[in-house]
Chain A
Amino acid sequence: MTADRTVKTTVFNIQTYCIHDGPGIRVTVFVKGCPLRCVWCANPESNLRKPQLMFYKDKCTACGRCVDRCPEKAISIRQEKDKYISFTDRSLCKDCGACVSACMQEARELAGEEMTVEAVINRVKKDKLFMETSGGGMTISGGEVLFCPEFTENLLMAVHEEGIQTAVESSCFASREVIDRVYRHVDLALCDIKHMDTNLHREYTGVPNEQILANIRHIHNDLQVPVWARIPCITGYNSDKVNIASTARFIRNELGTDVRVCLLPYHRLGESKNESLGKDMDWSIEIPSDDYMQELKAMVEGYGLTVQVGG
């Protein structure tokens, strides 16, 4: 069976020289659309499947070119604090992107573009030299890659046809059927474990964790795909030692000590993205200190696991 390279989905970034999403130098393909709504989401522009306008107000010089270009008359110039900037009325904006090309300051960007497997593979292939010489490959991330399984499955197959290694970075929130379809083509599974308490998991991400944990067990134990467990460490949500210890126990007891654990300290990139998407931010999460991350690392290592801080 060969890959169907005409399948499409919305891709919001194909990032090259990724060194923190699996072994070697990698190309990471980020797809749009996610069934989870993690409060700390680092890629809020990936939530919806459709393309979305992003606006970086620091770059805006209020030149007004976008105002004239907007077919919906959604843009106006307004004063904000001590400077004038362009303002987009999100209720009128259709995310068409007409203002993006008008902007000479690169203050406007349309996140997301519909791409076929073929188009993605052509981009990924260009970095084959770097992937091959470093033992790297392609990683698909999101959004949630299992939310567009047909695309993901065909992209993975196509990547293998090109002789490139694959990794999938996922919340593992999907049906067993989807898991089986996708993980046949995966050389390394990067599985997020966000919280061990299903109630808190539901509160913070919008979905419970039972299916997720069962899927991770299935991927590792039944499908025998190598797993790296990725634990985002979010101050005030899941990075307390009780939850991290219980996560470590789950990994050791139900998966095995061959699973590499990546403790990912919270970073603020998602916050500035929320702002550029026009979303209000009324909370701010503290970045965990290096010392605290080292404490967590030592603790998880105590369970006989191999641990790294960062991807």
Chain B
Amino acid sequence: MTRAPAGDFRIPVYEGHNNKNYGGISMYERVERIKKRVVVDTYPICIEKYRITLDVLEHTKNDPVIIQRAKILDATVERMPIAIADDELIVGVGASKPMGLEIDPNYGIWSQDEIDSLIEDGYQMDPQDVIDLQELNKKHDPATMIGQMGDVFYETENERILSLLKAGLILPPWKDKAQGRGVGGGYCQSGLGLGPSLILLAVDYSKILTHGTNALIRQCEEEMTKLRYYNKGDLDKYRYYKAVIMSLGAMNKLAARYSALASEMAAKEADPVRRQELEMIAKNCARVPAEPPTTFWEAVQCFWFQYLMLSPSTTLPGCRFDQYMYPFYQKDIENNGITPEFATELLCCLRLKDMELNRTSGKNNRKKNAGMAKWHNFTIGGQKADGTDGTNDLTYLMLDAALITKTPHHTLTVRVHEGTPEKLLIKALEVVKAGLGLPAFISDDSYIKCFTSRGVPIEDAREYVMTGCLDANLPGKSRTGPVPMVTIPLIFDIFRHNGINVKNGEKCGIEVGNFADYKSFEELYAAFEKELQYCMDVVGEKNNVELQITQELLVDPLRSALMFEGIESGMDTFRRTMPFENGAVINPIGMVNVGDSLAAIKKLVFDDRKYTLAELQEALDADWEGFDQMHEDFIAAPKFGNDDDYVDEIVARCYKSFTDYCGEIPTILGGVHIPTGISITSHQPGGQLTGATPDGRKAGEILADGTMSPMHGMDKKGPTAVLNSAMKVDQDPFQATLLNMRFSPSSLKTEEDLAKLGMMIRAYLTHGGKHIQFNVVDNETLRAAQEDPKKYRDLVVRVAGYSCYFVQLTRAMQDEVIDRTQQTLC
């Protein structure tokens, strides 16, 4: 295809967000026009998908779940309204209204109260839909994950588990049964697929890109001929294949509808340039995904159809887009079918498409995941399977597209190893400097070890990608279900009160001893470790319940088919033991606060003998009120993030206790629990639940974010000291860790500045560090945005692993971002 570039092809002038001249920069006109449509601050709530789903459920009562689910997919693509908006080059929408969020039928029921709260928060809903929704609700009594878990945990036999869930061991805390089951509220999201929403799963996109859906359908048909029903499980396989065929067929139907619509629109289009574009869209959609793409444009469209039908998912990854798309790009460039500029424009269109996929949730969860949180993570750079560097032209164009669109989604993560070109680091830092809060930088070395240390062949391990925020998975070969956020300082609270939840006086943990009676630090540590292990065991139990409910309720023929041997195995991905088994993980929140606390105790109680544990207990329960001198001393005790071995070794030890014990907790999928370490924004609600801690923190205050970030404001020795502390923790066993750092834009002026920051990043990531990301904004800008959110609508901030708009954060989260120690360079 040859094509005159639409709009202005100048490279934009990158300016910080503190610049008042908003919109004064040049960029592709197309991008700017689409952006006006997709960067909005209010989203319509829709009930079309809910309506369709309920209708299918009513007519498929006697079908096995997997067939029911495939029929829902089929009906959704057939009946949902479709649209092609002006300027679009990549087509396919995920909701019945522009920028819409569809009520998700698979999660809790949206009560009137929850809907009112949504509208209060600025979401729009058609008044008739509000009425219809409550009518639909009456017909719908879905078997939901949360409902089924409630059926288990609200029973008296499982009181020991409920007492910890109510204490808030896993966020968000459970309410009493009388106040509604589980956590209440549901999800509203966009995407044409089945969900579930929050699992970490990387499909192998290259399957459809290489073979096309028709070939996969033929493969299913062939497998079906081999079935013999005296074999156990073959009937299940038969149903699975029927469902997979229906699901892949649904994807073809969707493409056919778009092809027809584009032709229709082309026939009516007066503008010859746009007519030609629409004709190309019609042609693209007539080919993909049924047949493998022949051009880069077709390949991007093919990717988008997959992505749309694997959504809704707030954690859907783009995997190694620069790797598996490169052959299409390269071929097009060699055949003069495309220019790098047009490829960039397509990548921009894809980014803007992703802005249409959103989610919101019930009141409780809205608090936990601040902003319109999503983690559509595309991994770029890094080693290829053979160990050589994979950076290519597409890697750079994807960074360009982020600079041009200046949107926070999809996010990008750069894999760094010894052989990563300096040029790529500088380019990536230019994007960071633009204030987009992306990309993040991760270590090939440490992530690869996470897999190889557990027996994965190195060639497979080198293909790892980011799923969700920063969790690694192998495309097609592994996936993670539950990711519980476990507040460790809360366990410390329970430990300090010998198993009692002080908020209600109920027993929730185990008795390990009276806090005041420990005679040595080792004795105290061993007792804490016991409480920790008890709580982790309970988390493991809950995870396994969740896994089984996922197996029963949330089967997904489409995404299962796109996994490694997804067709050959004839099984849903959550029923199989995958080549790498990380079906369930545990995510500690606030471990740094516990490490700092233990260091303060060791120093002031056992080394210096300045205070007794009884005095400390009293001061903590009084929230330090009336204990000024003591409070001062505990604040002044060594803190993680200052390269001080005294405390760093204790933090490292806490993490080791945690990671070692994860490996002791089995899953029903045939593996054990894997440790992970992100906090998203859970350090805020986690902190709210937790009493005063011996690190000097007061009750209810926010906890340290991430896993490797120091407690905010406590790192006082500059960025390298933070990294030195973090490198003392064995991060390799984690499938993610997180370290946030913030720089002011004025400190990254020249290319030399960026090169040096690149050197620091590389040094960290090749010597034990796993992840680092940067916020580049100044506090004045952030304060101004708090006061005048409308004006700063597009101010992007990286909060613990994902980008979102600053003005969408809660005030407390905004304050936390502002307070985080600002690293200034000399």
Contact = CB atoms under 8 A, between A and B. Distances in A.
Contacts of B721: 16, 126
Contact of B825 (A19, A101, A102, A133): A19
A17 B724 contact: no
B631 to A, nearest CB: 8
Given A21-B826, A310-B749, A16 B719 contact: yes
A25 B631 CA distance: 37
Contacts of A104: 631-632, 635
B825 A130 contact: no
Interface string B728-766: 000000000000000000000110110011011011000
A85 B318 CA distance: 54
Contacts of B759: 24-25, 130, 133-134
A18 B763 contact: no
Contacts of A134: 756, 759-760, 763
Contacts of B628: 65
B720 A130 contact: yes
Interface in A62-115: 65, 101-102, 104
A47 to B, nearest CB: 19
A311 B825 CA distance: 11
Contacts of B823: 17
Contacts of A242: none
26 contacts: A15-B718, A16-B720, A16-B721, A17-B718, A17-B719, A17-B720, A17-B760, A17-B823, A18-B826, A19-B753, A20-B825, A24-B759, A25-B720, A25-B759, A104-B632, A126-B724, A127-B720, A129-B767, A130-B720, A130-B760, A130-B763, A133-B759, A133-B762, A134-B759, A134-B763, A310-B749
A18 B747 CA distance: 11
B756 A25 contact: yes
How many chain B residues sit at the interface, stated as a range, is: 20 to 34
A134 B766 CA distance: 13
Interface in B595-653: 628, 631-632, 635-636, 643
A49 B760 CA distance: 33
B570 to A, nearest CB: 50
Contact of A24 (B718, B723, B749, B756): B756
A16 B756 contact: no
A170 interface: no
B717 interface: yes
Contact of A101 (B636, B643, B749, B763): B636
A239 B278 CA distance: 61
Interface in A27-50: 28
Contacts of B717: 16
B724 A19 contact: no
Q: Which 3 A-B pairs have the closest CB atoms?
A: A134-B759, A16-B718, A133-B763
A105 to B, nearest CB: 11
User: Which among A19, A24, A127, A311 has the highest number of chain B CB atoms within 10 Å?
Assistant: A19
The number of chain A residues touching the other chain, given as a range, is 20 to 34
A127 to B, nearest CB: 5
B85 to A, nearest CB: 42
B763 A129 contact: yes
Nearest to B719: A17
Interface string B478-495: 000000000000000000
A25 B762 CA distance: 12
B632 A102 contact: yes
A104 B636 CA distance: 10
Given A25-B756, A130-B760, 10 more contacts: A15-B718, A15-B826, A16-B719, A17-B823, A21-B826, A25-B760, A126-B721, A130-B723, A130-B763, A310-B749
Contacts of A127: 720, 724
Interface in A117-139: 126-127, 129-130, 133-134
Nearest to A102: B632
Given A133-B759, A134-B759, A126 B643 contact: yes
Contacts of A311: 826
A133 B765 CA distance: 12
Contacts of A20: 825-826
A142 B624 CA distance: 40
A101 B718 CA distance: 21
Contacts of A24: 756, 759
Nearest to B716: A106
Contacts of A19: 752-753, 756-757, 825-826
A24 B756 CA distance: 6
Contacts of A133: 759, 762-763
A161 B720 CA distance: 22
Contacts of B643: 126
Interface string B760-782: 10110001000000000000000
Nearest to A104: B632
A18 B753 CA distance: 10
Nearest to B633: A101
Contacts of B825: 17-20
Contacts of B635: 104
Contacts of B724: 126-127, 129
B756 A101 contact: no
Contacts of B723: 130
Nearest to B643: A126
A25 B721 CA distance: 13
B64 to A, nearest CB: 58
Contacts of B720: 16-17, 25, 126-127, 130
B422 to A, nearest CB: 11
Contacts of A126: 643, 720-721, 724
Given A17-B719, A133-B763, A28 B826 contact: yes
Nearest to A28: B826
Which of A24, A129, A311 has the most chain B CB atoms inside 10 A of its CB? A129
Nearest to A15: B826
Interface in B634-685: 635-636, 643
A104 B749 CA distance: 34
A310 B750 contact: yes
A18 B750 CA distance: 14
Most chain A CB inside 10 Å of its own CB: which residue of B724, B753, B760: B760
A132 B206 CA distance: 41
Interface string B504-519: 0000000000000000
Contacts of B750: 310
Contacts of A15: 718, 826
A102 B826 CA distance: 29
A258 to B, nearest CB: 19
A126 B762 CA distance: 17
A267 to B, nearest CB: 10
Contacts of B760: 17, 25, 130, 134
B774 to A, nearest CB: 13
B90 to A, nearest CB: 41
A126 B645 CA distance: 11
A153 B698 CA distance: 47
A24 B823 CA distance: 18
A17 B825 CA distance: 7
Contacts of B718: 15-17
Contacts of B636: 101
A29 to B, nearest CB: 12
Nearest to B750: A310
Nearest to B825: A19
A25 to B, nearest CB: 6
A310 B750 CA distance: 10
Nearest to B762: A133
Nearest to B763: A133
A177 to B, nearest CB: 31
Nearest to B721: A16
A28 B718 CA distance: 12
A311 B753 CA distance: 10
Nearest to B717: A16
A221 B762 CA distance: 37
Nearest to A21: B826
Contacts of B763: 129-130, 133-134
A25 B759 CA distance: 8
A21 B756 CA distance: 12
